[in-house]
Structures are given as C-alpha cells and as structure tokens.
Structure 1
C-alpha cells in the first residue's frame, strides 16, 4: 500500500491488524519455556551474538541459505519456524511498547484482551480522506496515523530481525550510512529499521511481569528519497532540524542519485553501506541494470541491500513488484553476488499469493524480502 493510500486505513482495520499480531504472539506464548525465552530479550544484542556464534545453529542457517538463494516460508523447516517466532517476539516489543504484562496474561486470550482494550480508542475513527494534507489532520486522525506508524514498524522490525537472525546483517546502527528510497514520511526508515527490542522480567513476592519496550537507535547518517510532493514541507523540516544526520530529497530517484554523488564529492558525505527500499513500488525501478549502476556510484565497497514488496493496490501492481524482484534477483545472481529471496506468502498463482500473506495483513504486510551484500566492484 503506497503511503498516501494509508489515509484510507480506518481505526477498525488498524485494531484488527494489532489483534492479528497479538494473536501470533499469543500462539507462541503457549509453547513450553516461553517465559525463559522472553528473558533472553533483556539484552537482545547479546542474544543475537550468541545465536550467530553457535556452530550448530550456524550450520542450520547455512543450509537454509544454500538452496539457490530462495527461502520459502510456506514450507518452513524447524530452524526457519524458530527464526520467525523469535522475530515475531521482537516485533511485538513494538506492539506492546511501554506495557507491563503479567505472566498470567501470556496466552492467546490474555494478550488479545489487552490489545482489544488498548485499541478501543481507535475503533470508531474513520479513514482519513486521501486528499487531506498531513498538516490538516485532526487530533483523532493524528492518533490514527501514529497507529499506522506502529503497524508499519512491527512489520519492519520483523523483517530486520529475520535478516539479523540469519546472520546477514551484523552492522550496528551507529556504523550505518543509509540510503532509503520510496520512504513516504521516512518514519520506518529513520526509526523502524533500527529499533531494538527489550523485554525485562520484573518479579515481586506475588507475581511476575514482563516490561516491553523498543530502544530507538539511529543510523550515523540517512539519505531519504521520495518524490511525492505532499512530503516537501516535512522533508524541508527534516533537513533543517536533522541536517547533520539526515538528507531528505523530495525528488525523483535519478535526480536524487545525482545530488547524492555531488554531496559525496563536494561535501565529504560518506558513501552508503546500506540501501533500503521497503515496500518497493516497482515503477521506481523500471529496469534493474540502471538502478544498480546508479547505486554503485554512491555505495561503499560493500553495502547491505534490503528490499521488500507489499501487496500493491491491486493484483497488477503486485505482479509488477514480483517481476521487479525477478529481474533484480537474476541480475545480482549473474554478478555472483548470491542474493537471498525470502518468500513470506503462500503458494499458487500471483492472485493466490497476494491473498495469503504468512505474516500480518494484506494492507501492511511484506510479501517478499530481497537481501544482497553488494560488492561495488561486481556492479561495474
């Protein structure tokens, strides 16, 4: 769903999305030893390090990654199911951010009841008319938009933690010089990508509670690109208030790449070591070769490429996104860059795939992830 289409997302739909994410968490909570698993999220960086340094687990992950670069969640192995359960817990640290949940409520019924209670204020908020400018939103519309930011972050956290749990992304936020394309308001690219979950167990004489939170981290520097004129004022504000850490370009990608080249040459802006295109609009990349050539000019010797696609506004758009990923995957494979493509939907025709997201709902879910460790020399 494109950024302006989020304006058609009602409070009732948002509450249903929160309930779906909570139900997935509640299903995991029924597993034996769940509370002990939650305690490992008190120090998530250490958890990642321990998991990725475990030789047995590393072998299992290497096996997952070795199957022609395609990981299909429609037929999950035990290792893959475990990774997505861990990622869902991480994502729900954002869903429950700031909440204390009693251990007695860690069940499907318990967390659904909590989320329903927390969503009561959203249920009756109607969808925001598409032509309403962000600076004209009412208080209730801003509340709805904040909820949309949260549901987008939940999906983004899930995606990023899958990549980290697979050992594909290892950089810390303060080491990242990021380029993000098609960012909308930029919220998930500035914040969602780098959110770190933390879940703390708190005990007293009579009960055990778990405190959920997400720690905001920021990249060392981020370049944001989106050509929708609705964001011009917002981008101007970002450049004014965040000028040392953000360069927000409200223009087409081709022009933005040229501006970025000049900034790197004349103003010592660092080359990018992460390129993100979350919920990619395929029309932004009509041909993969020119896009990768432009990317090559602004990246460091190595860079993480992270792309996702959503459902699009209709089947034709979804098919366009699939074709775009087909093209990019083929080019990157030909360059011997070993891309990884993770399928997050059911099998069947494109229409059937679009109607079967394995995680979340059609309106906000990522359907596929394309990851590649770019090597500038191989993009020549």
Structure 2
C-alpha cells in the first residue's frame, strides 16, 4: 500500500512538473570546424546542464550555450552532438524551460595539414642529388588517399636549393659547403587532389660535420720473396667482418678473421712483381642505421733477395788455346786480357763486381782483367761479388820467335 502511495505522489509531482515546465527543442546544421553560439537575450536566474552527448564539447555560462568547433572525421557515425539543459527566470515561481539542442556536423573538404620532414640534417660535403628526407602530411577528409598528396617548395630560395619528387623525397640541388652556405631554411606546402592547399611550413636543415665513409684502412705492403706475409685488416670503424671478394691473384691469399696471409712467392716467378686481392668489409648498422659495406683492392709487392750466388764466370775477348788464355810474351804490365762476366738471377750484370787474390793480376773498372807484370806463366783466381765459386784461369804467354 505504501508503494502505491509513492507512485501516486510521483504522478502528482509529474503532473505538477508538466504544469510548471515547458520543453523547447533546437536543431542546428553546420560545417565542421565552426562553433555554434546561442545567446539568451532575457534575464536568467539559473541555467543548468542536465545531460549531453559529450559535456566537454560545450561551454555554458549564465545566458550562453556554445558548442566548440568539431572535426567531422573525429565524430562517431551519427555525426551529431546534443545537450539538455534547463533555464529558470527570476520571479518565475519555479517555472522552468527545458531545452534540447541537437547539432548535425557536415564534412568540409579541408586542406592537408601537419606537414613533417623525416630528417632535418645533412652532412657537409654531401653530393648534389643527396636525399635529405621524406615530406609527409595528413588529410583527414574521408576517402582521401594521403599518398596522393603533392608537395611544393615555396619561394625562389627554396626552389634554388632543393627539389621534391612525386614520392615526397627532398633532395639537395648542389654539393653542400657549410663554409660557403651554412644551414638551410625553406618552406613547403601540401595540397590534396581537389586542389586544397595547406599553409606554408618553414623548415631548418642543419649542416653537420661530415662523417668519414666506412672504409678499409689497410695499406698496400711489400714483402721479401719466398716468405709468407701476414697482413692485419682494419677499418675506420670497429666491428667489421672481412671476406675475399676476388682479385687477379686471390688464389695467392688466405683469410682468417682479420688476418690476411700472402703465400710465399719467388721474386723471379713472373715479370709483374705485384699481387692483388679484393677485400670486402661488412659492418652491422648501429642505432637503427643501415648496414655498411666497402671493398678495397690490396696490393702486395714482392721484393728481390740476393740469395743466389753468381755462376758461369767468363773472360770475354781473350784468346784461348787448348783451354788456356794465351797472350804474346811481349805484353807488359796493365795489359787487358779480357772483360769478366757472370750470370746472377738476383743481380743485374752491370752491378756485379769482380775481385781476385792474385799477385800477378788486377781487376780494373769492376770487370777488366789486367796484368800487373810482363807476360809469364800465371794463374789467376777470379771471384765475382756477391761471392761465388772462384774461376781459376791458367794464362800461358806465347814465346816470341
């Protein structure tokens, strides 16, 4: 029975409420990004918000109800907002006016915005055509493909220094020279396929100190013949791995880690005394950077060692009879018997020096064999330098008739 009474009281209150209240509705249609302000021109005792679709989108004061600018694409599928509030005027004896405002937001084809550049630095010395970074922008219009946006350099200075291709890649037009040019400043705009163009955005490109390119720093070497040569491979940055990539003489080399070994080779093996191999170095990128690769040809020059004694010592221009050098007995001291020669694969002929221990002969001008005394039966031993087996020569004078 008590519950029935309460229900009756509620009905009576509702009946009283309906008698002391009035309901008004307002429907508004407006483009996105515009606010809607409703001013109440009469005196108001109180304005109370009862409910709304999103309270944060409304600003309510004593006699103003304002909806903030809305982004069409950010709204739900209804593209509508609403608010319910009540107004009580002075001396109204509790009489209130209830309002329901509904706003329908329309889409507007907007220009792109939020222009960004993926990188804003370039190294000093970078070549013409170097790509600095990629330009992007956003277009929130429904159905717009952001990949079809186009980008434009604004102003003569911007177009002089840079170019942008259809992919949005920004490239430098001339070799970077920090001393001459310094940093770069330029403006970019974006437009959508419908021709809506954004505001210009200013960018600053900082020219940084050039970082040496990844390189193999091992120098060419020389090595004496007939000995292995161990070469330590190095780069200007650590953490590199090496491999033999080719080269005219790659079969003469072996590699283990950073140690490159050139096989022992005889100087006289061929006319060309240089041997080359191509070495590639690979290095993993750091801090998200790309992997690095470089190749260099390393040359080994084989040098000669004087490790072979001269052979085949000969007296040239001398008279031989029965295997003996013969000369007339009227020859005096300092007579030229002949010129000495020998064979040495390590030494040029004109660099050989001949010596003798004989008390009867002497060597003049490195290879001239001459007498110290008048002709007689003599024996001379000749040794070329570098040392070799001595040549023994028996010299018999021919008696004058």
Q: Which has the larger radius of gyration?
A: 2
Identify the structure with the greater strand proportion: 2
Normalised TM-score (structure 2): 0.15
With normalisation by structure 1, the TM-score equals: 0.16
